[in-house]
Structure 1
Amino acid sequence: MKQAKLTLIGAAIATTISVGAQADTDFQFGGYVKADVMFSDYSNGAPGSGSLSRQFYVPGTIYGDASNGKQVVDFQARESRFNFKTSTDLNGHKLSGFIELDFMTHTDGNERVSNSYSPRIRQAFISFDNWAAGQMWTTFQNPGALPENLDFVGAADGTPFVRQTMVRYTNGGFQFSAENPETTLNTYRDPSGTRVTSGSGMIPDFVARYNMKTESGMAFTFAGIARQLNIEMNKDTANPIDATEFGYGVSFTGVIPVGQDDIKMSATYGEGLGRYMALNYVNAGVLNGNGDIETIGSYGGYISYRHWWNDKWRTSITGSGFKADNNVDLSGNNVNKDSYSGYINLLYSPVKPLTVGVEYMYAKNTKENGMDGELNRVIFSMKYVL
């Protein structure tokens, strides 16, 4: 019976491959396995072991817990990821699908026994010729310009960083998309600085981007975003809130070869960008005394220089920063003001798919009331690209 089952499974697989071959379908598996050891020193005491800050640097999560010790060590393999891609030629039309999973951000496991964590969707999309639909990197971000750092994001303060569901059209260097909207706000004079997330609103976030590459190998992107901030709350009370406001932003990235080395950079500014910058370190707006939304301006950027010592050894030096223009008369002073981080690493690839390395990072976050948090971290990593 077992042999018969195996024969049926083998026949099914062979049939699937045969059908794929007849349709000129290519199948690709990819991803990597990455193990990290992180020694961290939090100025105000370490967050709990399930905190996001213990997985990677997230601005706003390093203020710490004074009841805990300051120095901790974390071992993890959660950044490891797997992806699967198909590409089919249909009478001159290109149809493809892509799905990618990893194990970051979840708190459903523990460090006591199994260290088991659920997979999550990073990306899942379908593309047909110039059109694509599904969860992807926001068109407002250029992931190809991110620095080569061991930290999961690597320049979190100064970069747009969002993955979400959208519809995107690409024509040459131009890209246009309608993306999932989500508004985050501070309420009026809230001493706790609590974030309000609004799922209301019918207008998508619209993004336009232009990608260009010169003959010398330099690559640049220019992106703009327009979005409607919307909130509806307290509908059944004497003081309902129903407000909308316009938000916008512009972003630039560059990758500049310098011999064998390269420089990567980004600069972003906007009013009402909120969650699009610095992992939602600052919200898009704040409610005033009349229940209307006033946008919060923000700007940030990073620059990274990667030097190849030889064909196996390399070093990246990165500086990243973000600042918000809060109106503390509306938001109160218990809100995030600015954030900075710096990185330096040494990476070694004895063979192309394998990289081992060490990285030192420093980060500082500050609130409008003067409270700050600092993080010093040393990361040791081993990564094998599948």
Structure 2
Amino acid sequence: MNSSKVLKATLAPLSLAMLAAAPSAMAETEFKFGGYVKADFMVSNYDNGAPDDSNLSRQFYVPGTIYGDPNRANTVTDFQARETRFNFTSTSDMDGHTLKFFVELDFFTTSDGNERVSNSYAPRLRHATVTFDNWTAGQTWSTFQNPGALPEALDFVGAAEGTPFVRQGLIKYSNNGFSVAIENPKSTFTSTAGGRIESDSSYIPDLVARYDFKGGDASFSIAGLLRSLDIDETIGDTTYDESEMGYGLSFAGVVPVFNRDVLKFMLNYGDGTGRYIALNYANAAVLRDGGGADTISSISGFVSYQHWWSDKWRSNFTVSGFEADNPGILDGTTANETSYSGNVNLMFSPVKPLTVGVEWLYALNERANGDDGELNRFMLSFKYAI
């Protein structure tokens, strides 16, 4: 994804103690440093009034965060460099086994800075994994997600409604395009008033499998998710001891069209999928007042077309959508129900490491009670890949 400076070294000069402990494990190790610096300039119009500058929606588009504050102005301008990221990879060949370490940081989502003076924001952990041959353990993209199918966009996600988008702890085995993993369980429920309830009772890991395959020059993936939605807590006067099954399916593709043009798409369906889709726009299930739970089904997806005007100029056209089939008890509440967005951009790369781009994004979010929020955002970005 990013160009990297590569430093090669051998472990031969290490201490005699280490050599004595594992003499057969000494091998050539390759180190890579990567990432990019990205500066974003955004003008955003929220039809219900803009949220304050600490709101996540002011950093990038997150469905469910654009309903706004009617006490504030509609149009705001933000300058940021928070998407800037750095990563480090170490890959070793040890007696015919491949041992790999990867860690990556950026500066999104943290609230410890401000726009008044310094714009100082703490790094956050994106990825941290150890891979030994076919096994991976640590925090990284969920196996349910296909990051390679995401559209190119100046916005951080680009098709937020239409894609699984989860980084979390997992243990995964991969071989010949097939991957299976157990992943961190976390259940989110909706109250009958429409608010979110996070359960601390989940104990059965989520089970995820994905198969990546090719058809000519095109690449595809199909993924399945099976999860237990558990809650064993007292909320108000009601004690909940519920366990429901949730599942999800995702199909994605990257299809070369002609010359360098590419079509990308994704289609997702699930019942109780919850936080895995659309950045947790809808929850996995609704808790009934007297006890019990009903799962929430949803369908979502996106289509994106990338057109190259020349070797240095390109555009991406993307539409994305999500619709939840909320149980009837949520009618008239603030529960999220539908979300749509579209964006178009123009990108220029005068030299390979540098990209300058402009983008317009439009989004519409709707709640079960009929309330909605609209966002129009213009972005100008400068990106230098290491």
Q: TM-score, normalised by structure 2?
A: 0.93
Q: Distance in 2 between matches of 1:110 and 1:291?
A: 42
Q: Distance in 1 between matches of 2:33 and 2:330?
A: 51
Report SS of the residue matched to 1:58. coil
C-alpha deviation, 1:368, in angstroms: 1.0
C-alpha deviation, 1:330, in angstroms: 4.8
* 2:175 aligned residue (167, 171, 176): 171
| Counterpart residue number, 2:273 | 273
C-alpha deviation, 1:22, in angstroms: 5.0
| Counterpart residue number, 1:72 | 76
Letter in 2 for 1:243: E
Q: Distance in 2 between matches of 1:177 and 1:332?
A: 38
Work out whether residues 180 and 210 of structure 2, in 8 Å CA contact, stay in contact via their aligned partners in 1. yes
Q: Distance in 1 between matches of 2:232 and 2:159?
A: 34
Gaps of at least 5 residues in structure 1 are 1-13
C-alpha deviation, 1:241, in angstroms: 1.3
Q: Distance in 2 between matches of 1:141 and 1:251?
A: 8
Gaps of at least 5 residues in structure 2 are 1-8, 16-24
Matched, 1:224 2:224: yes
Report SS of the residue matched to 1:201. coil
Matched, 1:201 2:210: no
Q: Distance in 1 between matches of 2:128 and 2:331?
A: 37
Work out whether residues 287 and 330 of structure 1, in 8 Å CA contact, stay in contact via their aligned partners in 2. no
Q: Distance in 2 between matches of 1:222 and 1:194?
A: 32
Matched, 1:53 2:57: yes
C-alpha deviation, 1:202, in angstroms: 1.8
Report SS of the residue matched to 2:57. helix
Q: Which digits, 9 at most, give the CA deviation of each residue in 1:138-193, with x for residues without a partner?
A: 00000000000000000001110000000000011100000000000012x32xx2
| Counterpart residue number, 2:92 | 88
- Percent identity at matched positions? 57
Work out whether residues 238 and 290 of structure 2, in 8 Å CA contact, stay in contact via their aligned partners in 1. no
C-alpha deviation, 1:18, in angstroms: 3.7
Q: TM-score, normalised by structure 1?
A: 0.93
Q: Distance in 2 between matches of 1:17 and 1:303?
A: 50
Work out whether residues 347 and 356 of structure 1, in 8 Å CA contact, stay in contact via their aligned partners in 2. yes
Question: How many aligned residue pairs are there?
Answer: 368
| Counterpart residue number, 1:9 | none
| Counterpart residue number, 1:8 | none
C-alpha deviation, 1:314, in angstroms: 0.1
| Counterpart residue number, 1:253 | 252
> RMSD of aligned C-alpha atoms?
1.7
Work out whether residues 11 and 29 of structure 2, in 8 Å CA contact, stay in contact via their aligned partners in 1. no
Work out whether residues 10 and 29 of structure 2, in 8 Å CA contact, stay in contact via their aligned partners in 1. no
| Counterpart residue number, 2:337 | 337
* 2:143 aligned residue (127, 139, 144): 139
| Counterpart residue number, 1:311 | 311
Q: Which digits, 9 at most, give the CA deviation of each residue in 1:230-282, with x for residues without a partner?
A: 001118x8742111000001000000001210000000000001100110011
| Counterpart residue number, 1:288 | 288
